[in-house]
Amino acid sequence: MQDTCHLTSQINKIEKQLKTLIKTSEALSQNYKLITSLKGIGLVVGAQLLYHTNNFKRFDSWRQFSSYCGTAPFGHSSGSSIHKKRKCHPMEDR
């Protein structure tokens, strides 16, 4: 029981630090508010997206971002004889 309370207090402390860090920058705060307005995106996923995308400055287009996320499948074919199942790029963030 004490372990659960200790872990819960650590999680709350980390979440508080994340929120404080996000509030330090106006641009981070604005993008965090926008990203968490989407259904299913909370504090952890929103902060992770901001971190991995450098506040959405890492990618020049939505296509690059969707490739990185693994939501843009690529087809594979060789002439007219080989047609394989569409796969995501191997450099995506799995």
- Average pLDDT along the chain: 82
Alpha-helical runs (H) found in 1-94? 2-23, 26-35, 43-52, 62-69
Q: Dig out the tokens for 74 from the structure.
A: 């690529």
Portion of the chain with pLDDT greater than 90, in percent: 46
Same domain? For 64 and 42 the reply is no
At 85, phi and psi to the nearest 5?
Answer: -60, 145
- The range of the structural domain enclosing residue 83 comes to 59-94
Residues 23, 47 share a domain:
yes
Q: What is the pLDDT of residue 64?
A: 83
For residues 82 and 51, state if they share a domain. no
Shared-domain flag, residues 39 and 84: no
Same domain, 20 and 5: yes
Same domain, 25 and 40: yes
Residues 70 and 82 placed together within one structural domain of the fold:
yes
Same domain, 51 and 82: no
CA angle 7, 12, 17 (to 5 degrees): 125
The pLDDT of residue 23 is: 92
Count of structural domains within the chain: 2
